[in-house]
């Protein structure tokens, strides 16, 4: 996956990502709201959304707590992802880590969206099992 940091304001990154898609080096774009202090519906991500649509590639959005820090989840709450899904109906969105530990909330707010998918890879870590059980 390719990525970008909208906080750096690199105007050329979109051209590079477009080239990487064309050369089949990447198959998706992943963003990290929470790690980077911005929301998934930030207007500066518009070109990234459009690139994903152009290349029929998913946008992967990192969600949930980060190493037990619940504050980062304020940035990647699915309520913002739903806004993106409504505005860009042709954009395939993968919610990485299913907004752990609030997976039920994530499901409830996003169910019924045909362009939203879930990655559950973060649900098998020791800290997740300790918090929620197997």
Q: What is the pTM of this model?
A: 0.89
- Percent above pLDDT 90 for the chain: 69
pLDDT of residue 133: 62
Q: Write the pLDDT tens digit of every residue in 87-100.
A: 999 999 999 999 98
pLDDT of residue 68: 67
b/e sequence 44-67, b meaning 16+ C-beta within 10 Å: ebebbbebbeebebbbbbbbbbbe
Mean pLDDT value across residues 28-45: 94
Q: Write the pLDDT tens digit of every residue in 38-84.
A: 999 999 999 999 999 999 999 999 999 876 678 889 999 999 999 99
Is residue 17 scored above 80 in pLDDT?
Answer: yes
């Amino acid at each position: 996956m390719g990525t970008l940091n909208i906080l750096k304001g690199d105007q050329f990154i979109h051209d590079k990502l477009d080239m990487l898609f064309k050369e089949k080096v990447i198959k998706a774009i992943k963003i990290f709201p929470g790690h980077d202090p911005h929301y998934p519906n930030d207007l500066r991500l518009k070109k990234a959304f459009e690139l994903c649509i152009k290349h029929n590639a998913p946008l992967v959005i990192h969600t949930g707590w980060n190493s037990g820090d619940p504050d980062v989840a304020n940035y990647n709450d699915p309520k913002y992802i739903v806004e993106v899904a409504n505005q860009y109906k042709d954009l395939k969105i993968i919610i990485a880590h299913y907004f752990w530990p609030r997976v039920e909330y994530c499901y409830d707010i996003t169910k019924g969206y045909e362009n939203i998918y879930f990655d559950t890879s973060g649900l098998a870590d020791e800290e997740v099992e300790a918090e929620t059980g197997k």
